[in-house]
Structure 1
Amino acid sequence: METPLVFSQLNMCESKEKTFFKLIHGSSKEEGSKEDKIRAKEKRNRLSLLVQKFEFHEETHSSRSGHLAKETRVSPKEAVIWGESFDKLLSHKDGLEAFTRFLKTEFSEENIEFWIACEDFKKSKDPKQILLKAKAIYEKFIQNDAPQEVNLDFHTKEVITKSITQPTLHSFDAAQSRVYQLMEQDSYTRFLKSDIYLDLIEGRPPRPTNLRRRSRSFTYNEFQDVKSDVAIWL
């Protein structure tokens, strides 16, 4: 008699390899003829797909559970404070994460990523690090047709372009201030009215949102000998 395919009756304490081994090895009658061998092979293939699907479901459920726990850890009291000022929102790690999620729904996350990059840049001390980070920020956010070009006036961009070969820790101050004002006066106002924020202040679980794949976070890992503190802002 073949072993029934009922996953709920499996001993979950056994290793998955052992369970799978027991499932694919029925009685020796399956190996008796050529046709039986073919049927046994097809059965093993089906079982392999079922096990993979079962494992994928387990991993997905675990991932979603972890994600939900992360999203609901903010207390309504903390979230209410973010509504007092834009600065209070950005100074709180969870507030920054929530605002970033909101910007992704508007396809404008390059603004907050640029602001984060500038905060990290101003902590640089080594001259080589300053030069490499300045170049990375310029190529990613400032130059024409940059992959995540931020909205800056011509004069501000021109000043940065002329100074990029010999940057200082203040090279992006004007641009960062401009982007900060744009977010504060525009995006922040809409964020306070968004479902993302309202759910937080009322203690409701987050609603599913249709987001595009997250753009690559701004880091400097691709540059040798460049250390970034940007992780503390994410």
Structure 2
Amino acid sequence: METTLLFFSQINMCESKEKTFFKLIHGSGKEETSKEAKIRAKEKRNRLSLLVQKPEFDEDTRSSRSGHLAKETRVSPEEAVKWGESFDKLLSHRDGLEAFTRFLKTEFSEENIEFWIACEDFKKSKGPQQIHLKAKAIYEKFIQTDAPKEVNLDFHTKEVITNSITQPTLHSFDVAQSRVYQLMEQDSYTRFLKSDIYLDLMEGRPQRPTNLRRRSRSFTCNEFQDVQSDVAIWL
């Protein structure tokens, strides 16, 4: 009987150790689970924070869009009527220039007005370095063969510019600018006056959405170092 009692005592000791070992393992699992729960809770708080902030971003976006729409419809019919008096009056008005540029984009010919704007900016260049950098930029973008925004010029005009581009002056693009101006005045301007874009402005109607291709990058001399551009006042 004594031997039997000792035998059961040893079994109880083993069971006690197994239970202790199981508790240690189980406790570690709970600790691990607790860490994972904290991580999940933190992620959930972050997601909630983003959701709370999202309406603010949406509101900013809506405000920005509203501002853009207001900008498009701020032209008075009286002012728009004046643009029909002459092409020069259209281009001399900031909103007129913007409306005409928008129209040219519907015809895929915005390179003409961009070239004209670039030439206007070029005439304000100061110093030989600025003249050289701006002239080179205009030549590479609008004049040279296969330029990304090559304008339609006759061979002689392009040749004169090409031969003088190494030593440009403030008048290097005068002839080319004049030819492009005449082209727009005699061709694009007459169609602009009959377009929905202009008629809506003249009659004070809200602007209609237009099917435009991706906005092309307008000319800017900010691509070059030490060059200050005033082209922003034209857009």
User: Shorter-chain TM-score category?
Assistant: 0.7 to 0.9
Deviation of 1:209 (Å):
1.2
Number of equivalences: 203
Q: Secondary structure at the match of 1:119?
A: helix
Deviation of 1:213 (Å):
2.1
User: Percent identity among equivalent residues?
Assistant: 90
Q: Find the aligned partners of 1:211 and 1:47 in 2 and give their Cα distance.
A: 38
Q: Find the aligned partners of 1:107 and 1:53 in 2 and give their Cα distance.
A: 37
**Structure 2, unpaired ranges of 5+:** 1-32
Deviation of 1:99 (Å):
0.5
Instruction: Give the match for residue 134 of structure 1.
Output: 135
Structure label with greater radius of gyration:
2
What's the CA shift string for 1:47-78, capped at 9, x where partnerless? 57755663453233212210111111110000
Q: Find the aligned partners of 1:189 and 1:68 in 2 and give their Cα distance.
A: 26
Q: Match of 2:170, as an amino acid?
A: L
**Structure 1, unpaired ranges of 5+:** 1-31
Instruction: Give the match for residue 188 of structure 1.
Output: 189
Q: Find the aligned partners of 2:209 and 2:50 in 1 and give their Cα distance.
A: 29
- Which one has the bigger helix percentage? 2
After TM superposition, the runs of 4+ consecutive aligned structure 1 residues lying more than 3 A away are 36-57
Moved more, 48-57 or 181-190: 48-57
Q: How does 1:76-155 map to 2 (within 5 A)?
A: 76-155=77-156
Q: Match of 1:80, as an amino acid?
A: V
Q: Match of 2:217, as an amino acid?
A: R
Q: How does 1:157-168 map to 2 (within 5 A)?
A: 157-168=158-169
Q: How does 1:40-59 map to 2 (within 5 A)?
A: 51=52, 54-59=55-60
Instruction: Give the match for residue 173 of structure 1.
Output: 174
RMSD: 2.2
What's the CA shift string for 1:21-64, capped at 9, x where partnerless? xxxxxxxxxxx999x98997897687577556634532332122
Instruction: Give the match for residue 60 of structure 1.
Output: 61
Q: Secondary structure at the match of 1:123?
A: coil
